Every structure is written in structure tokens, then in C-alpha cells.
Amino acid sequence: MSSATPAAAADQGQVIAPGSTIGILGGGQLGRMAAMAAARLGFKTHIYCPPGDNPATQVASAATIAPYEDDGALARFAGAIDVVTFEFENVPSRTAETLARLKPTRPSPRVLHICQERLREKDFLASIKVPTTRYMEVARPESLERALREIGHPAILKSAQFGYDGKGQVRIDADSKLEEAWARMGASIGILEAFVDFRLEISVIVARTLDGNVVAYEPVENQHRHHILDTTIVPARVTEAVAMRAEAIGRHIAEELGLIGLIAVEMFVTNAGEVLVNELAPRPHNSGHWSIDGCVTSQFEQFVRAVCGLPLGSVERHSDAVMKNLLGDDVLAWKEILAEPGAKLHLYGKAEPRPGRKMGHVTRLTAKR
């Protein structure tokens, strides 16, 4: 399929063959690693993103630097590509809907719409009987006290939209000042969630393609520092029953969404062994970076395969792995990491390290247990 193919009004389920161009919304490190995986399969990539330090543009075949609301730039972008996807979910819904009228867009704008707003996401999960912590919408500051009476203390107040890596989240205890909590949350609509006293956090990454075939990577254990993923341990230190339950939940979500692409399902494992879904991310995920070095098929290659309608790859893990994010000045240790036997260093090409900024990651492999 060439970029000159007439625009489709909707995704008709066509396979996108090697040699075609994948359009990626977003210019961050996930887009960078997806573009590198696409190149290995013979695809070209075209990045669309606003101005800024965009490491994906360094490795892509082409780039359009423009606001997501620029209809003219979006039309030109659509004319140069064969399929649209995104590397993060904070893309305006209208942008995805505009492009979906011109070229196949995978995952669909509906999936993006559900997953980019916490209330819609939680309501969707409830509708398909996926367990989550208790939650309530908080539409204005005056509603917070009433919601706390229902949910109890402690609780977590989160912005309904555009939150990640702990942004827009505030813990509320019995002695917290509600006005201050609302101001720190920083949004016009929030969601109040019951605090989960969990044993550990895990995630499952699921791929689903055009023919409905679904594969799931095994659960991994995630450890956070200041609400940002710090370390991923593979395999997760959970029972076989918990692992099977987590994978089944991930598959169920992908199927109910009608997903074409990749989705990461972040979950809590409680002290009682319950598995509660926390958040969804319908694209490659930080907790899947280990798969580049520790798995037959990386999450990024799987992402390309799923979006293009190709057969999905094996998710078999050939090694145990520990993936460590390099946040801010952590990246300054790159020389020592390169000298370490068995360490696999991945740098994202970002210009400036800042506190909490993801500059790269290192994966250390050991023999599979």
C-alpha cells in the first residue's frame, strides 16, 4: 500500500504491508523506539508532534512539527502516511477523529477517548465487570467533602484528565485541608479513589490485531519513586493464580475495547491477593521496555505488528530481567553502565536531564528461572 492510496472514510481492516509509512502522533521516547522497531520490519515512520525536544524525530523517516489542532498540517500528514497510531494518549480526541476520517487509525479514537480520561476509564471498566478500587466523580470543590464521607480516609484525589507519572494526584487524610488538596490537584473535574493498601503493583501488556488474535506478556512488577516508574522486575513476584488472573483481565479489556494495537493494564495486587485495575495506557508502556532485550518479540515490534495487521509475535521470555529507568542525572552514569557486563543501555537522545525526566533505561538480564 502506498501513501497515494485514496483516503478511507473509516478503517476497513486492511493490512498495512512493509514499505508503507506509519504515522505516529507524539515525538517522545516511545515513538522513538516504535520507529526503530518499524524500521527493522521495513516500514517508514512519520512523526507528528508540537515543537519541543522530540527524540522520535531523530530516527523517523519524516516529521511534521505543528500543533495537534492544525487542520491543514493534519491533512498533509494524512496524505503522506498509510496508518495512524499514537505513542501517548494526551492527544486531543478531535485530532484522532479528524485523522480517522482520512486514514486507518489504530487504536481507534473511541479507545483513545475512553483511556485519556480517568472517569470514562473507570466507568468503562465497571461496565465490563473489571474490579477497581471504589471511586466517585468530584465535579467541584464543594463535592469533595461529601465524596469523602462515601469513600472514607485515606483517599486519592486525581485530576480526571491528562495525568501521568503522579501528576494531578493528591492523597487526602483525615487532617488534610480540602481546599488545599483541590488546588494541588489542579483540574476542574476530579475523581476520588479509595486508597488501596496493596502488596505490590504489576502491569500486563496486551496486543490485539485485526483478526481478533490476542497475546499477553506475563505480568511484571513495578516499583515507583516519587510516583514515577523506577524499576520493573520480570517476572513479577506473584503466585501463578494471580498471574493468570491479571493476564485474563488484560485480555478481557483488550477484547471489550475492540483494540487494534497495544494496551498496558496497570494493576494493584492487594494483601488479600485481589487484582484491581488502576489505569490503562493504549500504547507501548515504560514497564514493557525490558522486552526489547528479554523477550522474543519486543513490545515495540508487537505494537507495529498489531497496528499494521501483521501476525503477532511470540511473547516468550528468554531471560529474567530488571529494568531501571534513568531519571534526570541518573543518565550521567552512562559510561559506567556501558562498562558493566550484561547491562543493556538505551538512551533516548534528549537534550537536557531534568529531575524526574526519563532520559533512558538500562536492562540487566539473568538466566530464566
Annotated binding-site members: 118, 158, 163-169, 193-196, 201, 224, 278-279
Residue 177 has a CB neighbour count (10 Å cut-off) of 10
The full 3-state SS of the chain, as one line of letters, equals CCCCCCCCCCCCCCCCCCCCEEEEECCCHHHHHHHHHHHHCCCEEEEEECCCCCHHHHCCCEEEECCCCCHHHHHHHHHCCCEEEECCCCCCHHHHHHHHCCCCECCCHHHHHHHCEHHHHHHHHHHCCCCCCCEEEECCCCHHHHHHHHHCCCEEEEECECCCCCCCEEEECCCCCHHHHHHHHCCCCEEEEECCCEEEEEEEEEEECCCCCEEECCCEEEEEECCEEEEEEECCCCCHHHHHHHHHHHHHHHHHHCCCEEEEEEEEEECCCCEEEEEEECCCCHHHCCHHHHECCCHHHHHHHHHHCCCCCCCCECEEEEEEEEEHHHHHHHHHHHCCCCEEEEECCCCCCCCCCEEEEEEEEEECC
| Residues making up the binding site for ATP | 118, 158, 163-169, 193-196, 201, 224, 278-279
